Amino acid sequence: TNDVINKLTVLGTILVPMNVITGLWGMNVEVPGQHASGLDWFFGIVGGMFFLGAVLYIYMR
């Protein structure tokens, strides 16, 4: 049962941020970087999320 909970936690950790990011584009609100010409801001945010996740993973291990 502990293995199942661990796998569900990892799955939720991966899926929840993706749902939040894609949910922003489904709403009629101003999205950060919406009027920017390039995608540098987007990859910066995603890279920051991956970096934070890696740091938290290493710290919590």
DSSP string, 9-43: HHHHHHHHHHHHHHHHHHSSSPPTTTT-SSSHHHH
Please check whether residue 41 is in contact with residue 49, taking contact to mean a CB–CB distance below 8 angstroms: no
What pLDDT score does 50 carry?
93
Over residues 2-55, the pLDDT tens digits come to 889 999 999 888 888 888 888 877 777 776 777 877 888 888 888 999 999 999
- pTM score, two decimals? 0.45
Total tally of structural domains belonging to the chain: 1
Domain that holds residue 49: 2-28+35-60
Pick 10 or 1 by higher pLDDT: 10
